[in-house]
Amino acid sequence: MPPPHKVHLKGLNGLRAIAALAVVVMHTSIGLEPFGLPWNRLVNELGVFAVTVFFSLSGFLITYLLLLEKDDRGDVNVKEFYIR
């Protein structure tokens, strides 16, 4: 069977990138405290929210791709899906 068509949701990729960047900033700010630099609770809360957004979007995208494969092929080959 031919592989399913490629799906690219630009807006969601942008949101995932912003969320990932927020998590990096949060982890960086946690490492400032041992050096006597201020730790910002707001940055920490933003990072926690960003993790939630990132995992929610990832779950949506995985589910969406699985449903597309089921519509295209009639079933889902889980092994091939994870290899892709």
Quote the pLDDT of residue 2.
52
Residue-wise pLDDT tens digits, 71-82: 988 898 888 887
Confidence (pTM): 0.68
Residue-wise pLDDT tens digits, 27-72: 888 777 788 877 778 888 888 899 999 899 989 988 988 898 899 8
Own/partner contacts of 62-70, CB < 8 Å, gap of 24 or more, are 64/7, 65/4, 65/7, 68/4, 68/5, 68/7, 69/4
Quote the pLDDT of residue 49.
92
Q: Are 5 and 72 in contact (CB under 8 A)?
A: yes
Q: How far apart are CA 49 and CA 21, in angstroms?
A: 12
At residue 37, what are phi and psi to the nearest 5 degrees? -95, 150
Output the DSSP codes for 9-47.
-HHHHHHHHHHHHHHHHHHHHHTTGGGT----HHHHHHH
